[in-house]
Amino acid sequence: MGRKLLLEKDKVEGIRFYDVYRREGGYRSVEKALKTLSPDQVTDEVKKSGLRGRGGAGFPTGMKWSFLAKPEGVPRYLVVNADESEPGTFKDRYLMEFLPHLLIEGMIVSSFAMGSKNSYIYIRGEYAWIVDILEQAIAEAKDNGWLGKNILGSGFDCEIHIQRGAGAYICGEETALLESLEGKRGNPRIKPPFPAIKGLWDCPTVVNNVETIAAIVPIINEGGEEYSKIGMGKSTGTKLISACGNINKPGVFEIDMTISVEEFIYSDEYCGGIAKGKKLKACIPGGSSVPILPANLLLKTAKGDTRLMNYESLSDGGFATGSMMGSGGFIVLDEDQCIVKHTYTLARFYRHESCGQCSPCREGTGWMEKILLRLDNGQGKMSDIDLLWDIQRKIEGNTICPLGDAAAWPVAAAIRHFRDEFEWHVLNPEECLRRNYGLAHYADPRETLVTA
Amino acid sequence: MTFSDDKLKEVERIIARYPAGKHKSALLPVLHLAQQEFGGWLSSDTMDYVASLLKLEPIEVYEVATFYSMYNLKPVGKYLFEVCQTGPCMLNGSDGIIKYIFDKLGIKPGETTTDGLFTLKTVECLGACGYAPMMQMGKTFREYLTEEKVNSIIEECRKNAAANN
């Protein structure tokens, strides 16, 4: 049984409500921070913890906080990114739905460290019922003196506000999120300036993921040093993984980043194995943007080491033979699933979500979608596969924000590792229409690596 | 066209979340409110009303309303089925759910039944991948969909609609 820091109490009855949450030790980190630490000391604890942003990029949180500009007389803002929209990812939803006070508690401590008197939660519009849950938690926290003026007599004032998005994946990108919070289209901004200098309403701003902010609570309670001892290497602490696809037990799991991918998939404590007794074919381990890996490269690295569920191990081998931890959206495909069709749905997703600002992304995502659709329908040509490869290469790195990369990577990885499945679609147009699924033999870990 | 006094107070509460002069930030929440109050979609009149209420140029409202997928720019049925079709839902059979709704109600994505009760819309990932296949219906998610479940949702909607008439 792995160490649990965030979901330790998620099954306690009534934990969603203040009284139970407090009785179970909630809001201790606010007491500790506001009564015994200075804002800079809180930031130091976060630095010591080694916590990396849980939204997908994995940037060290303490370092991000330390970049925050503090000009005299200018307000600073903490904005929590709850625009969880990366396909395969539903961990923040779980945290907010079942442990809303954990997020509020983490936000108060983080706001104190940054000097943010008005902090915002930007939540995706579709999570409408969670807005009610969070609003109730905020009201309860305020009634009990954890928000408002002069919290715990410390002189620190803080309010938390919720902003609902309206259906746009791009608003998970931090500068698009800020544009949206300002009442505009979610078009990402050109960086620099970074939000830490010029963010919300041109004021210094830190944007952090929900899980990142929740992790501040155990970091302050246990101390940054203790937190950093959990996990391994630069993957400290615990990570929430949302597992889905063809597995027996889809859901949200907290892991301590020392377990193997194999254990995560097959252990009853986590995914419980592949559904319907089928074999594992492939997996996208960190949300739809990160490279898909065939079973053999998923369970072991190219060097033959056991692959572990952490930042370093998942990216071992680079994009040639590895993937990324990303957002922790773990999508499992069984032997009957078609890589071409699956990649098509992801390409369609990115076309739908492109904001349209940069031509490589606006035009490229639509083009890739069209080609993948005709390949999936058995109307593709061999040259389409190279064309797809060419288009994704021309999108990657040529856009203002990472959505272009996010759209390019899944297509690149699918061709890199499953090229003969694409070719099969061209060579067997009738059969791929009739069966509409791919080549099961991929499910058997192969002896030699196939790379494009 | 105007909000009720209650809703106008809600608009004021929304604007109070932001610093003075930053009322444009209220646009997304107020558009949600307007869509809810004025028939489930945003007509040009509704958008112009929101513009005047927030002292914005109408174009500022149009460009936002057309950017975000949750704002409906044409009328929708009383019950809107928004079925997710992205990767993880596809792996768990969302195509079959969309086809079943077509067989049952005779509507393709983007269409509304002639009685005005149901609209089908396909959407991209709603963050319910572990509980797939799923659809959004109003404020709630309907998850682990099966044909039987879709059937009972349709019946439930018909019953509610009949009771309200």
What are the tens digits of pLDDT across the range A98-138? Answer: 999 999 999 999 999 999 999 999 999 999 999 999 999 99
Which structural domain, as residue segments, surrounds residue B99? 79-163
Please tell me which of the candidates B67, B85, B139 has its beta carbon nearest to residue A185. Answer: B67
Task: Decide if B132 is inside a domain.
Answer: yes
Asked if residue B153 lies in contact with residue B142, where contact means CB atoms within 8 angstroms, the answer is yes
Structure confidence at residue A448 (pLDDT): 43
Tell me if A128 and B127 make a contact (CB, 8 A cut-off).
no
| Distance, CA of A83 to CA of A92 (rounded, Å) | 9
Q: Among A89, A165, A93, which Cα is nearest to A123's?
A: A165
Tell me if A348 and B124 make a contact (CB, 8 A cut-off).
yes
Structure confidence at residue A436 (pLDDT): 52
Lowest-pLDDT range of A32-46, A191-205, A424-438: A424-438
Which residues of chain B does A167 touch, with a Cβ-Cβ cutoff of 8 Å? 68-71, 123
Q: Report how far apart the first and last C-alpha atoms of chain A are (Å, whole number).
A: 40
Question: Does residue B101 share a domain with residue B36?
Answer: no
Q: Confirm or reject contact between A435 and chain B (CB < 8 A).
A: no
Q: What is the CATH number of the domain that holds B10?
A: 1.10.10
Structure confidence at residue A435 (pLDDT): 65
- Average pLDDT per 10 consecutive residues for chain B, totaling 165 residues: 96 97 98 97 98 98 97 96 96 96 96 96 96 96 97 96 87
Which residues of chain B does A85 touch, with a Cβ-Cβ cutoff of 8 Å? 125, 127
Q: Confirm or reject contact between A399 and chain B (CB < 8 A).
A: no
Mutation target for A interface from B125, B136, B141: give the one with most A CBs within 10 A. B125
Question: Does residue B83 share a domain with residue B63?
Answer: no
Question: Does residue B48 share a domain with residue B114?
Answer: no
Give the distance from CA A131 to its chain's centroid.
20
Question: Does residue B102 share a domain with residue B49?
Answer: no
Mean pLDDT of A29-38: 98
What token pair was written down for A112? Answer: 């104190």
Q: Confirm or reject contact between A287 and chain B (CB < 8 A).
A: no
Kind and range of the H or E run holding A180: helix A174-181
Task: Decide if B74 is inside a domain.
Answer: no
Please tell me which of the candidates A124, A243, A352 has its beta carbon nearest to residue B127. Answer: A124
Q: Confirm or reject contact between B24 and chain A (CB < 8 A).
A: yes
Tell me if A182 and B24 make a contact (CB, 8 A cut-off).
yes
Task: Decide if B150 is inside a domain.
Answer: yes
Question: Does residue B105 share a domain with residue B125?
Answer: yes
Question: Does residue B51 share a domain with residue B100?
Answer: no
Please tell me which of the candidates A127, A165, A346 has its beta carbon nearest to residue B87. Answer: A346
Task: Decide if B72 is inside a domain.
Answer: no
A433 — pLDDT class (breaks 50, 70, 90):
confident
Nearest C-alpha in A relative to B94: A345
Q: Mean pLDDT for chain A?
A: 94
Question: Does residue B102 share a domain with residue B42?
Answer: no
pLDDT at A340 over 50: yes
Domain end, chosen from B67, B90, B106, is at: B67
Is A196 or A432 the better-scoring residue by pLDDT?
Answer: A196
Question: Does residue B61 share a domain with residue B118?
Answer: no
Structure confidence at residue A439 (pLDDT): 52
pLDDT tens for residues A352-372? 999 999 999 999 999 999 999
Structure confidence at residue A1 (pLDDT): 58
Is the dihedral angle over the CA atoms A224, A226, A230, A232 positive or is it negative? Answer: positive
| Distance, CA of B2 to CA of A203 (rounded, Å) | 34
Task: Decide if B95 is inside a domain.
Answer: yes
Domain end, chosen from B47, B67, B87, is at: B67
A303 — pLDDT class (breaks 50, 70, 90):
very high
How far, CA to CA in Å, does A95 sit from each of A108, A109, A112, A165, A171? 16, 17, 22, 18, 20
Question: Does residue B141 share a domain with residue B101?
Answer: yes
Structure confidence at residue A452 (pLDDT): 41
Q: What is the CATH number of the domain that holds B142?
A: 3.40.30.10
Mutation target for B interface from A126, A127, A242: give the one with most B CBs within 10 A. A126
Question: Does residue B53 share a domain with residue B14?
Answer: yes
Task: Decide if B143 is inside a domain.
Answer: yes
Structure confidence at residue A129 (pLDDT): 97
Which residues of chain A does B57 touch, with a Cβ-Cβ cutoff of 8 Å? none
Structure confidence at residue A449 (pLDDT): 40
Task: Decide if B141 is inside a domain.
Answer: yes
Structure confidence at residue B164 (pLDDT): 85
Question: Does residue B90 share a domain with residue B47?
Answer: no
Question: Does residue B112 share a domain with residue B63?
Answer: no
Domain end, chosen from B15, B41, B67, is at: B67
Which residues of chain B does A284 touch, with a Cβ-Cβ cutoff of 8 Å? 87
Mutation target for B interface from A345, A353, A355, A362: give the one with most B CBs within 10 A. A345
- Report the number of distinct structural domains present in chain B: 2
Residue type, B65: A
Which residues of chain A does B25 touch, with a Cβ-Cβ cutoff of 8 Å? 163, 181-183
